[in-house]
Amino acid sequence: MSEPENKKSRRALKNVPPDRFQPKMLIFWLVLVGAVVGLLMWSPNLNTAPETLTIQDVVERAEEKNIYNEDPRKAAVIRPDPSGGRDWHMITGESRKDVNSAFKPFRAAGRVTDSSMERLQKSKLFSEQPTTTVLASIAGQVIPFLIIIGLLYFLFVRQLKQAGRGAMSFGKSRAKLLTRDRDKITFAEVAGCDEAKEEVSEVVEFLKDPKKFTKMGGKIPKGILMVGPPGTGKTLLAKAVAGEADVPFFSISGSDFVEMFVGVGASRVRDMFEQGRKSAPCLIFIDEIDAVGRQRGAGVGGGNDEREQTLNSLLVEMDGFDTNEGVIIIAATNRPDVLDSALLRPGRFDRQIYVDLPDLNGREQILRVHAKRISLADTVELAVIARGTPGLSGAELANLLNEAALLAARRGKKKVEMIDVEDAREKVQFGRERRRLMDDDEKKLTAYHEAGHALVQAVLDDGHMPVHKVTIIPRGRSLGSTMFIPKKDVLTQEKKKLEIRIATGCGGRIAEEVVLNDISNGASGDILMVTKIARHMVCDWGMSPLGMIAFGESNDTVFLGREITRSQPYSEETARKIDAEVSRIVEEQYRRSKEIILSRRPALDKIAEALLEHETIEGRHVLEILEHGEIRSPIVMPLPPKLDETSTEKKAVDKAASPGDIGGHPTPTPHPA
């Protein structure tokens, strides 16, 4: 279909709620204020009291040319005044006593004889004006008061009326209408979720041509629930559906239904659906629906009556919603496990679309979309960046390019280069470098700790997760970091690879023990990670002699009140067996890691010495030390941060379970006894 035909087929919006900003009201207030200011400025002698003269004084000053007449707008005026009787006149203007004094406003009232009038007219300094009527005089006095009263009316009375309506408007929906032209988003701006776009494309086709589905007897889903981790583009995808279908798009958050007054949430739900019916066909998007759709009767001490009333109203409205009305509900959440089961049944949210983290191709597409707004150099390879960012969401990838642009700007570059993107990626994934002052003993301890991690990983790795970089420069909460980047996206966890991760995590502590004959609390993060992996292997993944049995359940729903009184699902004897298996797995990998370090002690010393000298080495340098006993490729020294960067930039917080940062040397922190 051509573009003109498409424009003709657009349906005009019906009963669209008015915008909060109304230009007509602004123009009215500007005109009203301007009228009042003009009236005040027009009023003569507002600030200076005029001098009172007699008619004879005016005649004498006129003959002496002491009446001001240079500006026609300020010329003296002779005006008959019938209120004083026959021949009574009012004379106004500016005059002076002599040539050495200044002109001042004057006012004279009295009887003007024929001789005096001749003398005044002979001076040619006065202009005669007709008599002011009683009606004009009254109007000149009344109109200013009417303007002031009107101003007070609109300032106070009208506001009071609106306040009265506002007190009753708590139950009105807070859904925002996105305009078609200004906020239009299409599928071309959404990348990394091709499967989700295919599913929601049916909604777009239905909104464009409903008869295509209804004539076949099919029904379009009443509601679509988008589920996925934060930052994967659920909200953006919903906006793209509205942009592609070219229909009104109402957006509201689940927390907008929550209010301090009882019954407000249910009323807002009803009003929201009423607005949708008036603007059909349209889309209603509810973001973070878990704030209002949480399971009823959950929580410590029972449920929340107000929230449950809001949920009941939502259930009733969605169940009574006719699909032929052309109103489709799209909701988004990252906690589908806490939603009420009645909300998820067919007839309400008929379809659930999982928006997962992007894969390799998806990450490259996302980077290309966001790279259009950034000046990238020709040397930047987005495919390489995509391979080095597994597990990152679309929002995190956008933040990565933004950090790269900021870093390049601080370095005085005109375009973002590959080194800037690499530094930004390490900052986002592993934390920002912090030039913390350490003495020689702490540097040596950190160097051998990280060298232990790198050595064990380099020896045991099968090429799946090679060592990317080793550094003793503090990052985030760690005094040093050993970074690993997988060659491909990790979809499954194999037993051998998990054992390698445990052995690598033990390498830091073993290096401290072997070289320094002492241990530190720098392995606290490693111990936590190793224990967590081993317990998952035994309790959740069936990777132990205990068999394919799941011991325990997920503790993600504690706040729902279902875990408070739950007893242990296995016996004490089984608990002892679980603890024994966890200890066995960790101890086996500990011995494995220790054998590697003891057998390759010279390589460990070489890696530590390189770290003490250069502070940062790459993974290829570790492999060169293992193969040749020395570093043969050049070491690129990292750029030191600028003074303004260290003082103004926020501290980066590294992720707790970052796939590539295994075994850092964390900063010692106090723990409760």
pLDDT value for 638: 52
CB-CB contact of 186 with 243 (8 Å):
yes
pLDDT value for 511: 92
What are the tens digits of pLDDT across the range 465-475? Answer: 888 888 888 87
Name the maximum alpha-carbon separation found in the chain: 133
Helices 134-152, 23-42: crossing angle, 10 deg rounding = 140
Q: What backbone phi and psi angles, to 5 degrees, belong to 252?
A: -150, 150
211 pLDDT band, cuts 50/70/90, is: confident
Does residue 545 surpass a pLDDT of 70? yes
Among the ranges 110-124, 286-300, 376-390, which has the highest mean pLDDT value?
376-390
Mean pLDDT over residues 638-660, rounded? Answer: 41
pLDDT value for 213: 75
Q: Which is higher by pLDDT, 652 or 638?
A: 638
What are the tens digits of pLDDT across the range 266-281? Answer: 777 777 888 777 877 7
Look at 254-268, 285-299, 436-450 and tell me which has the smallest mean pLDDT: 254-268
- In whole angstroms, how far apart are CA 203 and each of 31, 296, 320, 329, 403? 48, 30, 19, 10, 36
Does residue 325 surpass a pLDDT of 80? no
Q: Which is higher by pLDDT, 663 or 121?
A: 121
10 pLDDT band, cuts 50/70/90, is: very low
pLDDT value for 134: 58
Q: Is the peptide bond before 281 cis (omega within 30 degrees of 0)?
A: yes
133 pLDDT band, cuts 50/70/90, is: low
37 pLDDT band, cuts 50/70/90, is: low
pLDDT value for 590: 94
Q: What is the CA radius of gyration of the chain?
A: 41
Does residue 595 surpass a pLDDT of 90? yes
Q: What backbone phi and psi angles, to 5 degrees, belong to 554?
A: -65, 140
Q: What kind and span of H or E run contains 333?
A: strand 327-333
pLDDT value for 560: 46
Does residue 139 surpass a pLDDT of 80? no
pLDDT above 70 covers a percentage of the chain that reads: 74
Q: Which residues pair with 94 in a beta bridge?
A: 105
Name which of 351, 114, 357 is nearest 234 in CA terms: 357
- Note the Cα 274 to chain centre separation in Å: 29
Rounded CA separation 524/3 (Å):
63
The single-letter DSSP state of residue 459 is H
Helix (H, G, I), strand (E, B) or coil at 109: strand
pLDDT value for 453: 92
- In whole angstroms, how far apart are CA 433 and each of 123, 321, 526, 553, 646? 91, 55, 20, 38, 9
- In whole angstroms, how far apart are CA 622 and each of 507, 601, 664? 15, 13, 17
Q: Is 450 exposed, middle or buried (0-12, 13-18, 19+ CB in 10 A)?
A: buried
pLDDT value for 585: 94
pLDDT value for 568: 67
pLDDT value for 599: 92
Tokens linked to 545: 């002699």
Rounded CA separation 240/184 (Å):
8
Does residue 227 surpass a pLDDT of 70? yes
228 pLDDT band, cuts 50/70/90, is: confident
Helices 572-599, 524-539: crossing angle, 10 deg rounding = 130
- Give me the catalytic one of 364, 450, 499, 624: 450
Tokens linked to 195: 């499967």
Rounded CA separation 86/118 (Å):
17
Look at 358-367, 541-550, 633-642 and tell me which has the smallest mean pLDDT: 633-642
pLDDT value for 483: 84
Does residue 353 surpass a pLDDT of 60? yes
Is 364 annotated as catalytic?
no
* The Cα angle at residue 334 between residues 328 and 336, in degrees rounded to 5: 75
**Average pLDDT score over the chain:** 76
Mean pLDDT over residues 60-88, rounded? Answer: 76
Q: Which residues contact 332 (CB under 8 A, 6 or more apart)?
A: 225, 226, 227, 234, 235, 238, 285, 286, 287, 288, 289
Q: Which is higher by pLDDT, 348 or 73?
A: 348
Beta strands 223-227; 327-333: pairing state: parallel
